[in-house]
Structure 1
Amino acid sequence: MEQYIFYLGFIVAAYAVIANDVIQTLGTFMTSNANVKWWLLWGFAGSVLTVTLVYGWYINGGDVSYGRLSNIPLPDPMPWWYLLAPISLMVITRFGIPASTTFMILSVFSSSQLIEKMILKSVFGYALAFVAAFVLYLFLTKKFESPASIRLMDKKKQRPFWIVAQWFSTGFLWSQWLIQDFANIFVFLPRQLSLYELVFSLALILLIMAYIFNSKGGKIQGIVNQKSNTQHIRSATIIDACYALLLFFFTSVNTIPMSTTWAFIGILAGREIAISYRLKKGELKKTYKMLVNDFAKVNMGLFVSILIAYLIQFMKG
């Protein structure tokens, strides 16, 4: 029975984490490439995932989490109530709410000290992302985000360059996100995977990704679609590059898991306020309202995750 809980937990967590977090890494990629066949986009993202997963498994002696589960042991035995976390995340995802998968999944496995460190790192990630994006877009907005600059880019036929740039930036971003979030996906499996477990998990994740790409990202994709110019390939490329560099920085700092969702929402928030300030000052109030709504959704996920964590601690007795 316990073995079934391990694998069921992994399956549900894999779907919930990827479906909820896909907007962070592949959302702008899918939006700006809406006319490209879904299976081509899936093939590209799947190739990056395969390389990142197999490479991590090989160099880390079977540990695909890149060390992020080293302080989170696999419960033995694992009661059924551990499934509450990924199931709750899956329900939230179906309603289009961007939750922090790190808190939703890992908090029920972690000590209070580690949870505190994860929260601090995530809050710092949000703040750094917000400030960096705001400052950057104060300088970039008129040159890269104004309607005139976008028309000029199309007129100068610069699109081929930005297509190549976007695919490179998306690949880099996707790999950095995977390094951060493999811990959320694989927390239900042994910390060192066998070859069989590696192949099984890879095949399952690729199937989940195929479904997500085929469904255009699902309801949660709307958060990206409503932001300024995210359907434009140059804008999407700049967002991806900024986010990738931020994740690379936090990957280098330490192996403590963090909420990549908070960092992504921080980038979108800083960017959106800067664009509104530079180009649409009359719509600042509307922008603030939209960003508050996004932040409220994220914090709803945090509240649910903490509630579930305490519930499981209570069940443990």
Structure 2
Amino acid sequence: MTIEILMIVGFCLAAYSIVGNDVPQTLGTFISSNAHRPWWVLWLYTSSILVVVLLYGWFASGTGDASYGRLETIPFPETGITWLYIVPPILLIILTKYGIPVSTTFLVLTIFSPSSLSAMLTKSMMGYAVAFVVAILVYRFVMKGISIYLSKTRHKEPSHIWIGLQWVSTAFLWSQWLIQDLANIFVYVPRQVPFEFLIFGILVFVVLLGWIFYRRGGTIQNIIDTKTGVADIRSATIIDFMYAIILLVFKEWSNIPMSTTWVFLGLLAGREFALSMHLAEVNKYRTSRNVSKDAMKLMFGLAISVLLATGFPWLYQHISG
């Protein structure tokens, strides 16, 4: 199957919207804790990981699959890409502009396979719940003393060990996120991606990554920056390792796509609640308000996804006759 114009348009729009919405959620702690470094250093580092993950996935599949099998249950549309499939990434760009962390998995993939929404939602809700509970248990019981120590020494210069660990944790998390969310972008092209288009896709990603690092994360970064101590490289490292491990577990569990946004916000929510139990600087009321606000944004994004999945195909058929 050849690559057509609307495929390229959909791919680029999806890449642009997902980089603006999801990448800051994944690399946000990395951006916050390395605000003193030149943006291009962070860009080159994450871009090199991106290139390795994409090339490895494409070659390892043996069939030119760049989505790591996440699109096995979501076939390419028999009628090809039409304007119907272009709407979700455009809507995502608009929502991102207002700082709403919607799930790109729901918003983009449900329009391709409405029947997959239930399975994706179930897995994503489990991801949120697991991340929330794990964060509370870890930060409330396992890391209580460490959290207090990190809070008291936040303004001290971190050791080189922590700096090295943070860059390792970022590579681990970034690779796991790519494996999960590349499906949201490559859904716009045939499941056997031509190598030439893979190179084109890599170039698009690298340029967009440069843009997001130049802007220091953009609007969505504000959500990360409101969380306690994320500018501390040590706290950021712990968050990244936990996030990456949870994504790895769910990746091994099944190939059904899931919302990494839900996992991320579940992890931050559990962490904030746990910290509010033993850190005086963390206000419980403000924590509850922020977590509730994030949850409402998730529900808003889910509602839009369901509306798109059910209403847009009908509208498209009605208009197309």
TM-score range relative to shorter protein: over 0.9
Equivalents in 2 of 1:162, 1:154: separation in Å? 14
CA apart distance, 1:92: 0.6
CA apart distance, 1:154: 6.7
Partner of 1:129: 131
CA apart distance, 1:281: 8.5
Q: What CA deviation, in whole Å up to 9, does each residue of 1:53-72 have, x standing for no partner?
A: 00000011210101111111
CA apart distance, 1:81: 1.7
Q: Kindly tell me the number of residue pairs found equivalent between the two proteins.
A: 313
Equivalents in 1 of 2:264, 2:174: separation in Å? 13
The answer as to whether partners of 2:32 and 2:225 remain within 8 angstroms in 1 is yes
Equivalents in 1 of 2:281, 2:306: separation in Å? 38
CA apart distance, 1:193: 1.0
1:26 maps to 2:27: yes
CA apart distance, 1:142: 3.8
Unaligned runs of 5+ in 1: none
Tell me whether 281-290 or 303-312 shows the greater mean CA deviation: 281-290
Identical-residue share of aligned pairs (%): 45
CA apart distance, 1:282: 7.7
Aligned residue identity for 2:261: T
The answer as to whether partners of 1:138 and 1:275 remain within 8 angstroms in 2 is yes
Equivalents in 2 of 1:311, 1:21: separation in Å? 25
Aligned residue identity for 2:196: Y
Partner of 1:220: 220
Partner of 1:39: 40
Unaligned runs of 5+ in 2: none
Partner of 1:95: 98
Partner of 1:168: 168
Partner of 1:52: 53
TM-score, with structure 2 as normaliser: 0.93
Equivalents in 2 of 1:267, 1:153: separation in Å? 21
Equivalents in 2 of 1:201, 1:128: separation in Å? 33
Aligned residue identity for 1:54: L
Equivalents in 1 of 2:169, 2:276: separation in Å? 25
CA apart distance, 1:24: 2.5
The answer as to whether partners of 1:144 and 1:235 remain within 8 angstroms in 2 is no
CA apart distance, 1:164: 0.3
The answer as to whether partners of 2:24 and 2:218 remain within 8 angstroms in 1 is no
The answer as to whether partners of 1:49 and 1:175 remain within 8 angstroms in 2 is yes
Q: Within 5 Å, give how 1:1-317 maps onto structure 2.
A: 3-60=4-61, 61-75=63-77, 76-112=79-115, 114-146=116-148, 148-152=149-153, 158-280=158-280, 283-314=283-314, 315-316=316-317
The answer as to whether partners of 1:276 and 1:283 remain within 8 angstroms in 2 is yes
Equivalents in 2 of 1:262, 1:91: separation in Å? 19
Distance 1:149 1:103, change over 3 A: closer
Distance 1:168 1:79, change over 3 A: same
Q: What CA deviation, in whole Å up to 9, does each residue of 1:102-155 have, x standing for no partner?
A: 00000000142x211101000011000000000000025542333x54455776
Equivalents in 1 of 2:211, 2:266: separation in Å? 28
Tell me whether 252-261 or 72-81 shows the greater mean CA deviation: 72-81
The answer as to whether partners of 1:153 and 1:159 remain within 8 angstroms in 2 is no
SS at match of 1:107: helix
Q: What CA deviation, in whole Å up to 9, does each residue of 1:226-261 have, x standing for no partner?
A: 000000000000000000000000010010000110
The answer as to whether partners of 2:84 and 2:313 remain within 8 angstroms in 1 is no
CA apart distance, 1:316: 3.3
Equivalents in 2 of 1:245, 1:175: separation in Å? 11
Equivalents in 1 of 2:143, 2:283: separation in Å? 15
Tell me whether 227-236 or 80-89 shows the greater mean CA deviation: 80-89
Q: What CA deviation, in whole Å up to 9, does each residue of 1:76-121 have, x standing for no partner?
A: 2332121111110111111111010100000000142x21110100
Aligned residue identity for 2:98: F
The answer as to whether partners of 1:276 and 1:287 remain within 8 angstroms in 2 is yes
SS at match of 2:133: helix
